[in-house]
């Protein structure tokens, strides 16, 4: 892929944390891209490095964390090499981010209108009056009822879903080309989650947004995204289109995640009494196993998995997996049994 084809291109990104237990690579040699107008999901269990990847793109990794390798290119410009002043211009204007819990992002003592208007005035030359009017227009864009009236409300006067809509309005107020949504529905009930995802989908089409969705909810991914990237212990273990990944998961970890999802299409007579789980726990980043990092939990582990860590291997068209089952050293009988 050339730089002109990708809006965002992450190459061999490494983000490290310097702790008393040693250096921890929370994001390790991660590469992916997001095209213009595309919705891409970054999925995995808690602690897999999804949010650290997002914060690295925004250059918001807090000490003792630091980007220690790789490149992050936005429209061909390496964000990792920008000064903090230059990066502040990128945030909001070019790339915006919506966080998990809006109450931690909104100031409880300021009115909604003041906070949205401030976000607008930071990046766009506008009078206070014009910024206030624009804030109302942004609340209207994200389908908040009585938007201009809501400008005078405080965050605690809004429901969780409405607060998240306000955060989306603030993120979109400077017309960014890429929106990073970090678990935007985690703190909301199921009905409101669906409304927020429908809102993001409609805004993506209306504004031509590219969206990088950070989530652990594969149900959301299936409905909303075009491509999916699966992470485990700071590494990408599988990447494919959504349809291909759900139909033909290639990595044992991905298969475990999909098997753990309940299905409404399953015959109740054949339904197992309990949902499938992935055995064991995610290993500590300070004590990762040798070889494939999933080998202690993998139902398909082979001798080679305890040697060197596998590289990303081609499974199909635009489908890769970090797994020896798809390499030259794989046991043909084992691979055939898994595929069938």
Q: Which of 259, 282, 279 is nearest to 271 (CA)?
A: 259
What is the β-pairing status of strands 39-43 and 65-74?
Answer: unpaired
Tell me the C-alpha distance between 163 and 161, whole Å: 5
Strand locations in 165-207, DSSP E?
Answer: 178-182
pLDDT on residue 3 = 42
Sign (positive/negative) of CA torsion 176, 181, 187, 188? positive
pLDDT of res. 153:
96
* The pLDDT of residue 193: 86
Pairing of strands 235-241, 210-215: unpaired
Radius of gyration of the CA atoms of the chain, in A? 21
Residues present in the chain in total: 340
H or E segment to which residue 215 belongs: strand 210-215
Averaged over successive runs of 10 residues, the pLDDT of the chain (340 residues) comes to 73 94 92 96 92 95 93 94 91 89 83 93 87 94 94 93 92 92 83 89 92 90 93 96 95 93 64 77 91 95 94 93 82 49
């Amino acid at each position: 892929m050339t730089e002109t084809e990708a809006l965002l291109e992450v190459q061999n990104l490494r983000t490290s944390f310097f702790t008393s237990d040693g250096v921890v690579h929370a994001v390790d040699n991660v590469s992916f891209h997001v095209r213009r107008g595309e919705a891409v999901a970054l999925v995995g269990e808690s602690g897999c490095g999804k949010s650290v990847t997002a914060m690295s793109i925004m250059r918001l990794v807090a000490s003792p964390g630091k980007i220690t390798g790789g490149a992050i290119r936005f429209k061909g410009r390496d964000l990792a090499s920008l000064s903090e002043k230059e990066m502040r211009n990128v945030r909001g204007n070019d790339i915006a981010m919506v966080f998990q819990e809006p109450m931690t992002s909104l100031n409880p003592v300021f009115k909604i209108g003041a906070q949205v208007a401030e976000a607008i005035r930071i990046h766009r030359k506008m009078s206070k009056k014009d910024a206030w009017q624009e804030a109302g227009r942004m609340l209207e864009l994200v389908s908040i009822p009585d938007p201009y009236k809501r400008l005078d409300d405080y965050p605690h006067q809004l429901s969780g879903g409405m607060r998240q809509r306000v955060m989306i309005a603030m993120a979109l107020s400077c017309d960014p080309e890429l929106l990073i949504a970090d678990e935007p529905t985690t703190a909301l009930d199921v009905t409101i989650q669906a409304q927020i995802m429908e809102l993001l989908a409609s805004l993506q089409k209306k504004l031509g947004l590219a969206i990088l969705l950070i989530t652990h909810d594969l149900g959301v991914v299936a409905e909303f995204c075009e491509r999916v990237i699966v992470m485990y212990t700071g590494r990408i273990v599988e990447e494919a289109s959504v349809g291909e990944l759900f139909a033909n998961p290639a990595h044992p970890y991905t298969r475990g995640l999909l098997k753990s999802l309940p299905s409404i299409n399953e015959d109740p007579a054949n339904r197992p009494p309990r949902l499938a789980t992935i055995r064991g726990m995610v290993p500590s980043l300070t004590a990762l196993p040798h070889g494939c990092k999933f080998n202690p939990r993998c139902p398909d582990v082979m001798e080679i998995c305890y040697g060197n860590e596998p590289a990303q291997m081609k499974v199909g068209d635009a489908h890769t997996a970090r797994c020896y089952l798809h390499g030259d050293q794989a046991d043909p009988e084992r691979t055939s049994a898994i595929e069938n």
